[in-house]
Structure formats: structure tokens, C-alpha cells
Amino acid sequence: MSPSIALTYLFAAALVAGLLLKFWLASRQVRHVARHRDAVPAAFAQTISLAAHQKAAAYTLARSRFGLVEMSWSAAVLLGWTLLGGLDLLNQALRAWLGTGMWQQLALLAAFSVIGGLLELPFSLWQTFKLEAKFGFNNMTLKLWLVDGLKGIVLGALIGLPLAALILWLMEAAGQAWWLWAWAVWVGFNLLLMLIYPTFIAPLFNKFQPLEDVELKTRVTSLMDRCGFAAKGLFVMDGSRRSAHANAYFTGFGASKRVVFYDTLLRQLSPGEVEAVLAHELGHFKHRHVVKRMATMFAISLAGFALLGWLTTRVWFYTGLGVQPNMDAPNSALALLLFMLAVPVFGVFLSPLAAMLSRRHEFEADAYAVAQTSGSDLSAALIKLYKDNASTLTPDPVFVKFYYSHPPASERLARMAPG
């Protein structure tokens, strides 16, 4: 069997196996949540009403069923791009129009992104204006949705095209070690993005106002001083313009670090509860989770670039995934796209490992928060957030191990309980 045919069979088998696995997991989640929807778990009987529990179950079921449809469509689109020849057809059409060279390769990347976005558009609209709206979470108008989309396209073009041009140039000009230079550029870009995102990009989509609540500001500042954490500022973001979901996060690094609270979070939680949530986020920094995740991401990406550097010189890599490579012109853009399409198909089987490490980090951050603030405040805050975000209290255990980046509510609260 030739390497090309072997890759075709391997890719198809991984795609089918991954899809079947996802369907099995989703069906387990649906059955488990539906089976427990009529009774609030004993640990939450005093804090969560049956109506709220049933709303969370209905929301989880609706999202799961929507996810099954979206998952099937994504698999069909992926198959269309690869083994059914969609990417090859697009490449040939642009080559006939633009010839070969940098402009044709950039056009291929841009056209792929535009077509992919259009194919996903109905699902984005449905999720925002049907599913989220049905459960009272969507606050976004169609005008705002369109404006956000337009800003995203312009921003993506302004940032993405120059970066893509630099990577494509390196692939042709930097010799056999191009992948090492390209990786260095990619790492530098991500670090730069973290630096400029809080002050230049995020304000294009949301308004950020300095935290004005004196009591909360005093508590938060005192907490950060105790934890040895310095930030450029405390800000409130108008998250309610788009969604009723609540959150808080840190962004940036070095001198650009900011603490950001959703306005919805401040409306739902007491000052003590907000302080406890912030202490949890500080726990991630104290345990260097952010640095560890970045280091892991950069290490994995280095291996990925090295693999791509090897695959770009193998004709079977292209033909095995449904593309006839250019024999008299660069194939850099084709290689990038095929690699981005193929890697997730195989990477899905590593999801449980990533989820397990993330849950471990969440437990560590919870423990740090309990040590720095009130455990009862953190428990109360989590219960409110689970309730207000309609997060199910009864997820399927196997689904949790595969997908959940945060531990289920029952496990988190049990570890916070005294004694």
C-alpha cells in the first residue's frame, strides 16, 4: 500500500472514529442529564430550586443536540475540503486566475477563511438568536452581531495576512530549518498579542470602565497586595451588551496585566463573593498555571512545526488528503491548510489528557482561594454562577472526563467543605 493511500485510510478512519466517539459521549450526556432533571441533587437542595435545575437541564440538552448537528456538519465540511477535493478545486481555480506565487497563496488562505466562515454562519446565527435567546442569555442585537463580525474580519485581515505572508516567505526562503524560524515568529506573535490585546484590541468590541465600587475596590486591592499581585488596573466590562452570562478574568502580562469583571458578575455577587472569585483567578497565577500552559502550548507547537516541515516535502501528504500539489510552484499555503485541517482529527483523542490537567489546575486555584478568602463565599459564588449560567449539576461522569476543563460543581464544593 502506498503512503498516499495509507494516509487516506488513516485520516478517514480517525475522522469516523472521532465522530462516533463524540456522538457516544454526547448521547451519554443527554441521557444522564435527562434522567436526573426531575430532582435537585441533595447537596444543592437548599440553594438551587427545582425550576432552576430543570432550566439548566433543558439548556444543556438543547446545547448538546445543537452540538450534534453542528458536529455532523463540520465533519461533512472537513471531508468536502479534503478527500472530496474542495481545497484542490479552490487551489486550481485561484492558480488559473492569479498564477503562482505569494499573491495566489495568500488568496488561497483568505478564500478558505471566507468560505469556511460562510459555511459556519447559519450555526452562529442560530446559536446566538435562537438557542441563547430561548433561555434568556442573548442580549445582542442583529446590528451589533454584524458590527462585531465586520470588525473581526477587518482585524483578522490586518493582523492575519501580514503574519501569513511572513510565514509563507520563511517557508520558501529560510531553507530546511524554516519551521524553526516560523515557530519563533509564531511564539513572538502570541506574546505580542497578549501584550497589546487589553489596550488595543479588546476595547474595539467592549467598553472598559474603571471599577468604581469603593468597598469592592478596597477589598480587591487588599487581596492583590496580600497575594503579591500587581495589575495595571481594575476594570468593569459591559458584557451585558451581548450576553447574560457572567465572568471575570485576567488579561495581558507584565506591565499590561488587567483585572476585568463582567458587569453581570458584579450584579449577581456580593463583594465578598467577587473577592473569592478573584482569589481563584489569582491562584492560577500563584501556581504559575498560565506560564505552564503557555510553555506546554509552545512546546507542542514546536513539535507541530517540525512535523509540518517534514510533511511539506512529501507528495503523499498532499495526495493522501485529496490535493494535487503544484509541481512547478510553492505548496506552502496548501501545506498549512491541510495540516490545520488534519491535526484536530487526530488530536481529539488527546482531549481527556488536556481536560484532566485543566481540572487539576482548577482544584489548585480553588484551594488557594479558600486559603486567602472565605471558602463559604467562594462556594456561594460558584452556586450562583452555576445557577445564573444554567450549568447542569448532573453531568455524565465520562463526558466530564473527556470534555470538562472545570470540575463539576459537586466535586468543587465537596473539596471546599470544612473538615
**Degrees to nearest 5, angle at CA 246 with 192 and 280:** 70
3-state secondary structure of 379: helix
Cα distances (Å, whole numbers) of residue 202 to 130, 143, 197, 213? 26, 19, 6, 22
Identity at 389, one-letter amino acid code? N
- The secondary structure of 204-223 as a DSSP string is GTS-EEE---HHHHHHHHHH
* pLDDT at residue 342, rounded to an integer: 95
Pairing of strands 233-237, 258-262: parallel
Q: How many residues does the chain have?
A: 419
3-state secondary structure of 244: coil
Q: How much of the chain is in helix, strand and coil states, percent to nearest 5?
A: 75, 5, 20
* pLDDT at residue 254, rounded to an integer: 61
* pLDDT at residue 256, rounded to an integer: 62
Nearest partner of 112 among 318, 342, 341, 345, judged by Cα: 341
Residues contacting residue 179 through CB under 8 Å, at least 6 positions apart: 305, 306, 308, 309
Q: Is 281 labeled as catalytic in the residue annotation? A: yes
CB 81 within 8 A of CB 148: no
Give me the numbers of helices (H) and strands (E) for the chain, helices first please.
17, 4
* pLDDT at residue 159, rounded to an integer: 92
Q: Give the chain's end-to-end CA distance (angstroms, integer).
A: 62
Q: Which of 281, 362, 364, 411 is catalytic?
A: 281
Q: Half-sphere exposure of 67 toward its Cβ, with a 13 Å CA cutoff?
A: 15
b/e for 115-154, b at 16 or more Cβ within 10 A? eeeeeeeebeeebbeebbeebebbbbeeeebeeeeeeeee
* pLDDT at residue 212, rounded to an integer: 86
Compute how many other C-beta atoms are within 10 angstroms of the C-beta atom of residue 295: 11
* pLDDT at residue 45, rounded to an integer: 87
* pLDDT at residue 38, rounded to an integer: 93
* pLDDT at residue 12, rounded to an integer: 95
Residues linked to residue 134 through DSSP beta bridges, in sequence order: none
Pairwise CA distance, residues 308 & 337, whole Å: 11
Q: Grid cell 482544584 — which residue?
A: 363
Identity at 26, one-letter amino acid code? A
Cα distances (Å, whole numbers) of residue 35 to 29, 31, 39, 147, 240? 10, 6, 9, 41, 33
| CA trace torsion 305, 14, 71, 31 (10° rounding) | -130
Pairwise CA distance, residues 266 & 270, whole Å: 7
Pairwise CA distance, residues 235 & 248, whole Å: 10
* pLDDT at residue 253, rounded to an integer: 66
Residuewise pLDDT in 10s, the chain (419 residues): 789 899 999 999 999 999 999 999 999 999 999 999 999 998 888 889 999 999 999 999 999 999 999 999 999 999 999 999 999 999 999 999 988 889 999 999 999 999 999 999 999 999 999 999 999 888 889 999 999 999 999 999 999 999 999 999 999 999 899 999 999 999 999 999 888 888 888 889 989 888 888 888 888 888 888 888 877 778 888 888 888 787 777 776 665 677 888 888 888 888 888 889 889 988 888 898 988 999 999 999 999 999 999 999 999 999 999 999 887 778 899 999 999 999 999 988 889 999 999 999 999 999 999 988 888 889 988 898 888 888 999 999 999 999 999 999 889 988 887 65
Pairwise CA distance, residues 393 & 108, whole Å: 45
